[in-house]
Amino acid sequence: MNGTVSKLAAPQAGGRGGPPAGGTPIRRARLRPLPAPSQRLHRRPRQEPRHVLDVTLLCDMQIFSAMASAKEGNGAPTKRSRLHDLYEQQGLSPWYDNLCRPVTDLLPLIASGVRGVTSNPTIFQKAISSSSAYDDQFKQLISAGKDAENAYWELVIKDIQDACKLFEPIYNETDGADGYVSVEVSPRLANDTQGTVEAAKWLHKVVNRPNVYIKIPATAECVPSIREVISNGISVNVTLIFSIARYEAVIDAYLDGLEASGLSDLSRVTSVASFFVSRVDSLIDKMLEKIGTPEALALRGKAAVAQAKLANQLYQKKFSGPRWEALAKKGAKKQRLLWASTGVKNPAYPDTLYVDSLIGPDTVNTMPDQALHAFIDHGTVSRTVDANVSEAEGVYSALEKLGINWDEVGKQLELEGVDSFKKSFDSLLVSLEEKGNTLKTANV
């Protein structure tokens, strides 16, 4: 199996403000269960057997039927939630950080105010390995001669296409400003500049939906990829951003790409920059505990939000002035900050910490299940992302004085993030290969 670029046969396209002071009780979410969200190309695509196409058509019919039922108000009425208020009052788009079959289980979430979806290799590894919903299509793909990796991509692409259909009304209503579904290039390409470009172009072509974001990691090798992909008119979700320095490089890649595109109308080329939050606290808290001084311990749980607020200040600076204004005249849209990794990992912290603390206009927060439930239950809808910025600057500087190197923190978290996604991807491919071999043996 190629360790860099997969030679794929193309499918037929179709808590708030910081940790509580000593002893303050924390409200936890009363969790109500949501419906279970039950590279290059060198070969010509093979013609799919009729039965594979029939299953695809049947799934499409089921999606449109479910969407029609939801639109007509069939089933239990959906009440407004805090997610609606986030968007309507504060301009923050709440997204859902999960995707699996059946994608129609997203409809109640959309009705509750979710406006987009993100996915990653770990999400798909969990979805495909823990659900039988993929079995029929997988069996058909293996019968049609697909190997495990080709089958994986066809399973993923089908989910992404179906989810894009569900969010297309939001995309249309906002003139392409919202309603996106994100799919990531192979994590094996995290250090391959040109391989990432080719994989992004391929994914964009085969998904063939206006509201798809191609996710590209913000590694040093992939920052040039972001520029080239944007210059080709492809919308990008830049993922795994852990430091302000790397974030600035990502913004510059977006602006460079827009300028290099040569397009007279830039309104359909958009991007989000996924700035990871909770993992920053997880790592820096350990470093502070190792230092062990009262000053260090008092800064636990404050690093991530402080850095995120300073990232927002950089956003305001970079998307203003003559350079940006020239692009805006051609219809360019700002690369929104997307707060990612917003599930609280330390039970001592408020469970809405990374949502409540980063609310502001033209931002996105993609939430895993627990964070989403918690915010709907008891989140606070109030503009906070640009509040107490001087305090955030003080926290950032205090951590530096204690010996915390922000760039080194970012590099370590990036390496860990890439490695985690690679392991999930490789583990799933091994499982699919074993499953495929079993099916082939059974059919002999």
Q: Which amino acids are annotated catalytic?
A: 215
Structure tokens at 187: 């994590």
243-263 per-residue burial string, b: 16 or more CB within 10 A, e: under 16: bbebbebbbebbbbbbbebeb
Q: Tokens 């579904």 label which residue?
A: 181
Q: Cα separation of 413 and 217, whole Å?
A: 12
Comparing C-alpha atoms, which of 143, 142, 219, 229 is closest to residue 188? Answer: 219
Cβ atoms 126, 156 nearer than 8 A: no
Alpha-helix runs per DSSP H in 319-405: 322-328, 353-356, 369-378, 389-401
Give the CA angle between residues 232, 236, 241 to the nearest 5°.
Answer: 130
Sign for the pseudo-dihedral over CA of 102, 354, 216, 113: positive
Three-state secondary structure call for residue 145: coil
In this structure, the number of other CB atoms found within 10 A of the CB of residue 20 comes to 16
Q: Cα separation of 270 and 278, whole Å?
A: 26
Q: Cα separation of 41 and 21, whole Å?
A: 56
Q: Cα separation of 307 and 303, whole Å?
A: 6
Comparing C-alpha atoms, which of 142, 152, 153, 211 is closest to residue 182? Answer: 211
Q: How far apart are the first and last CA of the chain?
A: 25
27-53 per-residue burial string, b: 16 or more CB within 10 A, e: under 16: ebbeeeebeebebbbeeeeeebeeebe
Q: Cα separation of 293 and 288, whole Å?
A: 8
